[in-house]
Structure 1
Amino acid sequence: MEAADPILWVYVTAADAAEAHRIGRALVEERLAACANLLPGHTAIYRWEGAIQEDAEAALILKTPASRFEALRARIRALHSYALPSILALPAADGDAEFMAWVRAQVAE
């Protein structure tokens, strides 16, 4: 993994804080994410199968290099309870060079 490998913030919603914790812990243990920030207790309002739904959820913000995103995405889908989990990768336009190097080092294969 080269230093130019861009860092991504990956936003994922989960059914509850326990699921977010389980997924986040697994991804860090498996070196697919450098860290996982859990954001419990929000409400999602969305359209699903033709009806407006409203559910309590939790969210994760994961940090990983772009080169690890596909493996991370596949693992999230395998661990997730949703048929269609929200997995959004957002590029970090800039950041502290030492922190970004740390992120890369944490997921080195």
Structure 2
Amino acid sequence: MSDEVCEVFINAPEVDWLIEFTRRLVNDRLVASGNVIEPIRSIYRWQGEIYDKPEARVVLHTRSSLVPHIIDRANREHPYEVPSVVAMTFFGNPAYVQWIIDETIEP
């Protein structure tokens, strides 16, 4: 078992979709928690066109070893063709890090 933890950031066009997606990840123990933030504003180029759109973002807390499972789930369920899923490891309160490890399991 890896004790390295990370934050995973995922953007989506609708907050309700993101909340339900996060709830499923918590229920399946792929993440310990998720903090949904809205609105955010995303400016990006997609297929040659520049977009400026409101979105929501979730910050998930999980084990680094579970990120590939989260990416796979996002690729299957996300409304975008290419969902933004970015993970960064972090160091934190040892008790909080242990809680993340305790609340997540390898599938």
TM over 0.5, yes or no? yes
Work out whether residues 11 and 59 of structure 1, in 8 Å CA contact, stay in contact via their aligned partners in 2.
yes
Contact kept, 8 Å, 1:39 with 1:59, in 2: the verdict is: yes
Secondary structure of 2:81's counterpart equals coil
- Are the counterparts in 2 of residues 14 and 58 from structure 1 also a CA contact under 8 Å? yes
The normalised TM-score by structure 2 is 0.94
Say which of 50, 53, 59 aligns to 1:52: 50
How many residues are treated as equivalent by the alignment?
A: 106
SS class of match (1:37): strand
The aligned counterpart of 2:62 is 64
Gap runs ≥5 in structure 2: none
Runs of 4+ residues over 3 Å off in structure 1: none
Matches for 1:75-94 after TM superposition, within 5 Å? 75-92=73-90, 94=91
For 1:35 and 1:56, locate their aligned partners in 2 and report how far apart those are by CA, in whole Å.
23
Question: What are the ranges of 5 or more consecutive residues in structure 1 without an aligned counterpart?
Answer: none
**Identity, % of aligned positions:** 29
Deviation at 1:108, TM superposition (A): 2.3
